[in-house]
Chains A and B, each alone.
Chain A
Amino acid sequence: MLSFVAGFAVLSAVLGASSPESAVPDVFRNIELQQVIDLTAAYTRESLKVVAMNIGEEPVREYFLPLTYEDASKLAALEAEDDVGSLRINEVDSLHDGSNAYFSVNLRQPVAPGEEIEFTVGRAFIAKTQPYPRKAEQSEQQLLVYNGSRTILSPYKSQKQTLTIKTVTQNIYDVEKDNRQTAKSQQLGGLATFGPFNNVKPFTRTPLTLQYENPLPQVHFPRLDRKIWISHWGDAISFDESYDLQNVGTELKGSFSRLDYMRTSDGRAFSLNTAAVRQLMLSVPSPARDMYYVDLVGNVSTSRVQTSAEGTRLEIHPRYPVVGGWHYNFTVGWTNPLGQFVHKVGPNRYTAAIPLLTGPEDASYDEVSTKIILPEGATNIDFADVYGNSAEVSTVYSYLDFQGRPALDVVHRKLVTDHRAGLLLVSYDYSLLAALRKPLILATAVFCVFVTAFYGSQINWSL
């Protein structure tokens, strides 16, 4: 097994060793790059602190960050901030070359020649780590493999680079080191530090393969369907979210023994039993009411609601422990007061600010589709979110609808728990007349029924 891992590492070393010609102007020198890779969650979080100096002759406003295409395809979140606040960051398609994709950080103001700047880039990746070995027995531990680079990829020359990797337990194996003893690294608890590396050339990539233990469930949602119903009559905004859950950790080989699961679920020793998804915590905007937790065959009775000052937490248990490789799906829903998310911004004009995600802690999503259903008769609908997605408008017919409700469909790909801060903004016109239409139609219908019944009763129906 070990030799296979080594071969794996050699392969990635060959792939990584490239320093192509780049169109990026060489105007910065990295004084220091500090990267922290957090492998404690179900997805990979990286934070990169950049201290750089303008070595060119003109003021510059853009700092470029390369990312291998493989990483770019797994990228879920990318943001940058300095002392003042967040910085804008865009993908620069024109710069893409044979091996890397490029992103530019738009600095707050142009950096004068010789001036230093400092900012931090945060990134999140989905599926950057894989279980290795892919399958294991129930009693074995869950080992994951991280493939990356010891040095930090940058189009600029770096004076100093350091890399820190955080893991849950102390079991980290540097595959390169154990077999070839090249790079220096030290293990400190759940931390592995590499470097400092001095005077690193641009585009240096030194492959790094880490096998580490992660005893926590690797929660991944290939799909999440959200339906959000806005009702002015009910003074309510209702959420209905259907999750497809998959545990992307080490797959269970052979049989699942309930007896072994019962014996080792106390968590004293890490195994696939502890890496099984046995509960999920959902933060629901408070005050929420009418909560439900169901799946395709009905109500799941194993859930609990905790209400505290910060919010309502919904603790749900899947019907069965979702061991690595297993699937589960469920639907949760609840209702909030309308005023919590919808505000009046003008005469007959309303704006709804709806959270992009409300899902459980520590999870990643491949595709999140959101359907926002506005009240019947809403017009002039505008939609915006921070990612520049656009929404399609469709019509939904629900209880006692006459002309149907306008609905907005928007799809987001590759999201992680950190996106819970994101918002979807919807504005629409909703007049009193539109609100009164439904009760008037209903009243007329009921009246007609009574009139018919009255005249019908005057007729002799006997056979």
Chain B
Amino acid sequence: MDVQNAQKLLRIAILVLVAGAAVLSRLYSVVNFESIIHEFDPWFNFRATRYLSSHGFDSFLNWFDNRTWYPLGRVTGGTLYPGLMVTSNVVHTMLSKIGIPLDIRNVCVLFAPAFSGLTAYMAYLFGCELKDETAGLLAAIFLGMAPGYTSRSVAGSYDNEAIAITLLMTTFYFWIKALKLGSVSWAAACALSYFYMVSAWGGYVFITNIIPLHVFVLLLMGRFHSRVYVAYCTWYALGTLASMQIPFVGFLPIRSSEHMSALGVFGLLQLVAFADYVRAKVLERQFRLFVVSFVVIVVAIAFAALLGLTWLGVIAPWTGRFYSLWDTEYARIHIPIIASVSEHQPTAWPSFFNDLSFLIWLFPVGIYICIQELRDEHVFLVVYAVLGSYFAGVMVRLMLTLTPIVCVAGGLSISSLLDVYNQWNVPVSKAPAVETNAKVSKKAAKAKEPADAAPEPKEVQGFFASFKSANITSSISKVVVLVTFFGYLAMFVSHSNFVTQSSYSSPSVVLASNMPDGSQFLIDDFREAYYWLRMNTPEDAKVMSWWDYGYQIGGMADRTTLVDNNTWNNTHIATVGKAMACDEETAYPILRQHDVDYILVVFGGLLGFSGDDINKFLWMVRIAEGIWPEEVSEGRYFARGQYRVDSEATETMKNSLMYKMSYYRFPEVNNGADRVRGQRLSPSDAPTLNIVDEAFTSQNWLVRIYKVKDLDNLGRQVPAAAAFDRAH
């Protein structure tokens, strides 16, 4: 009893420390920079959260946002996943109820670290279900610190993924639990957690497909059982109904192809259950005939129905982002707007090592162990591993969904290693039933669960159990192995910390650089320009910029934008691209039609910031070309196959509004040397502006804002009037 309590206390202490480590390692961004919302999407989430907290839940769901996508507006309440905002708002309200009135911004900034602490705990429970507490604790610490997860959950990274990974692990844990016990309660919990996940992240489709796939694989393996039937049907019925309550999801679960596998498996399970029932009633030979004819007919009907409904348009065809998961070239050719996002690019090999450290080679070991053991839940792990690895290879951002499974697999393999090499009281007899002291409590704990359908731990049969009977007598080999792996673990921690601190903690709103004396110097041009917009332009001013900056302008400058990171309307984005890519005469009518007051461009030439608009310019051209192929053509921006901005640049390039706004008066500073392109503009290349006036340029020229001229009082064409004014 004492040992048990001590172990329990120790486990709690370890879990608390793990959660603490997970939270603390994510605070580098606050320590090194400040408590600020990061990047792009989080600014929208933050703005939505503030809207929710000030307007209430009902008006949040009915939110029509006329400050974005001018003049179209956006049905924001119906096109977002509200889980994140609702959760942080609930947290915020609860905290102020118990007398901790935190600023909503601080709640949002610290949201992701707090939930990563919870994720670590869920990983522990998940690991416990798969093997034992040791595996759970290791999985918890791995998931708590792995850079692949930290990358999306540092303080300030207030994005859907921050809560989604927690929910992913929770849903999987409940699923395993429901499947093992065949329990309706656990399956209902799983459905609830799935609903929460649906409300929080578009990646819920991953769960929607992986659970049916798991069940399907179990069926193929001949493991159909009433437990599977109960768990799956409960989850599917409740989960699907619940998920349809989210306005953005609506009827997708019964119409879109991405959800069809879940429906299909649901139907299949009914058939299998029916067949199972029939088999109990009829003879073996009759049954064969019955099964074969039955299966052929049903599959044919189902397939024809699927094709027919898709063809009729009842079932939505698969979205482009989904196609690009299977064919990496697809997006580049057909949907430039998806391909233009760097996180949709295929993953480079080094980033696997960077994000997962030594877990990347422990991962196959863990999966191998699972295949050896191969209870139902281990099948799940294998299925998840296969799918997760594939997706992570296709898209950088899906590294996130791979990380949990890698961490759990890593926990399994290390704990197995410890099982073998960390036995110091060598059993007196070789009988495996005799347990070593260290394992007493765990087995007792397991024995307490009466409905556990896995083989009783005492009758050691599984692969895991064989570790304990492995008898390594040489202390030297034990010490060498343990010390080596202790080293690996230490390296993992330091590597994770280093990567988190150096690569994933930058808010990207603020850029850090070093002064000559080595002290840190912050380049804060974005906020400088946004704040200028906020304080010195009319409140209803319309700001045009490339869509990347839409959310930030909405969040920090609080001005109406034409396009933003939501990218729901490709034509509108192409219009902005066209206005940027065309000459002034063509652009001016477009600007007038859209009531544009200010244009914001990002220009890194002076500072050497490579993510600027001139480097993104080709994407604007490509997207515009997709809609107006006869007016915009990518080839005309290349001078003899090269992307030039100096005197070699093509006329089309030099006349484009984007080029003019970026390089306006640039040759007069720094000898016109563009540090990003490595080219030099001579004074004769200096562009002249006719339809816009410079309104503001930030300290390092990173952001330049131009004001669109009003129509000429004398009724002349604006470019002509400007040319006339210049001459006189």
Residues in A lying within 8 Å of B, measured CB to CB = 254-259, 262, 295-302, 319-320, 326-329, 397-402, 462-463
Contact = CB atoms under 8 A, between A and B. Distances in A.
B92 to A, nearest CB: 14
15 contacts: A255-B693, A256-B694, A259-B665, A296-B534, A297-B530, A298-B527, A299-B34, A300-B524, A320-B528, A320-B532, A397-B101, A399-B101, A400-B99, A400-B100, A401-B99
B30 to A, nearest CB: 11
Interface in B534-549: 534-536
* A-B pairs, 8 with minimum CB distance: A258-B697, A463-B185, A255-B694, A299-B34, A400-B99, A301-B522, A327-B535, A319-B528
A319 B531 contact: yes
B305 interface: no
Interface in B686-719: 693-699, 701, 707
A48 to B, nearest CB: 39
Given A257-B697, A258-B697, A326-B535, A297 B527 contact: yes
B183 interface: yes
A300 B99 CA distance: 29
A272 to B, nearest CB: 14
A328 B696 CA distance: 14
A326 B531 CA distance: 12
B707 A255 contact: yes
B697 A256 contact: yes
A79 B522 CA distance: 46
Nearest to B184: A463
A302 B695 CA distance: 23
Given A257-B694, A258-B697, A462-B449, 18 more contacts: A256-B694, A258-B701, A259-B665, A259-B669, A297-B530, A298-B34, A298-B36, A298-B527, A300-B524, A319-B528, A320-B532, A328-B535, A397-B99, A398-B101, A399-B101, A401-B99, A463-B183, A463-B189
B556 interface: yes
B528 A257 contact: no
B327 interface: no
Given A256-B697, A299-B34, A327 B536 contact: yes
Contacts of A257: 665, 694, 697
Summarize A's interface: helix, strand, loop or mixed: loop
Contact of B695 (A256, A319, A329, A399): A256
Contact of A319 (B35, B99, B100, B532): B532
A259 B697 CA distance: 9
A255 B695 contact: yes
Contacts of A262: 669
A258 B701 CA distance: 8
A326 B707 contact: no
B663 interface: no
B536 A326 contact: yes
Nearest to A401: B99
Contacts of B696: 256, 258, 320
B298 to A, nearest CB: 35
A298 to B, nearest CB: 5
A399 B106 CA distance: 15
Nearest to B43: A297
By CB atoms of chain A within 10 A, which of B522, B693, B699 has the most? Answer: B699
Contacts of B185: 463
A295 B34 CA distance: 13
B352 interface: no
B186 interface: yes
A365 B696 CA distance: 27
A402 B701 CA distance: 51
Contacts of A397: 99, 101
A17 B154 CA distance: 71
Summarize B's interface: helix, strand, loop or mixed: mixed
Nearest to A321: B699
A258 B699 contact: yes
B651 interface: no
A257 B707 CA distance: 12
A400 B697 CA distance: 45
B531 A399 contact: no
B100 A297 contact: no
Contacts of B522: 301
A462 B534 CA distance: 55
Contact of B99 (A255, A295, A402): A402
B668 interface: yes
Contacts of A399: 99-101
Nearest to B532: A320
Contacts of B510: 301
A397 B510 CA distance: 34
Contact of A320 (B35, B100, B531, B701): B531
Nearest to A445: B98
Contacts of A402: 99
A428 B101 CA distance: 25
A327 B535 CA distance: 6
Interface string B98-134: 0111000000000000000000000000000000000
B573 to A, nearest CB: 25
A319 B527 contact: yes
Contacts of B100: 399-400
Contacts of B186: 463
Interface string B660-694: 00000100110000000000000000000000011
A256 B694 CA distance: 6
A138 B179 CA distance: 73
Contacts of B697: 256-259
Nearest to B697: A258
Contacts of B99: 397, 399-402
A52 B183 CA distance: 102
A302 B524 CA distance: 9
By CB atoms of chain A within 10 A, which of B35, B532, B698 has the most? Answer: B532
Given A320-B696, A463-B183, A297 B536 contact: no
Interface in B198-241: none
A301 B707 contact: no
A331 to B, nearest CB: 12
A299 B701 contact: no
Contacts of A295: 531
B34 A320 contact: no
A399 B97 CA distance: 10
A297 B695 contact: no
Nearest to A398: B101
Contacts of A296: 531, 534
Contacts of A319: 524, 527-528, 531-532
Given A257-B694, A258-B699, A301-B524, A329 B34 contact: no
Contacts of B695: 255-256
Interface string B462-488: 000000000000000000000000000
A329 B449 CA distance: 62
A399 B669 CA distance: 52
B668 A259 contact: yes
A262 B532 CA distance: 18
A425 B693 CA distance: 52
Contacts of A462: 449
A327 to B, nearest CB: 4
Contacts of B535: 326-329
Nearest to A397: B101
Contacts of B527: 297-298, 319
By CB atoms of chain B within 10 A, which of A298, A301, A399 has the most? Answer: A298
A399 B100 CA distance: 5
A240 B42 CA distance: 28
A259 B686 CA distance: 14
Given A319-B528, A326-B536, A298 B694 contact: no
Contacts of B101: 397-399
Given A320-B531, A400-B100, A297 B556 contact: yes
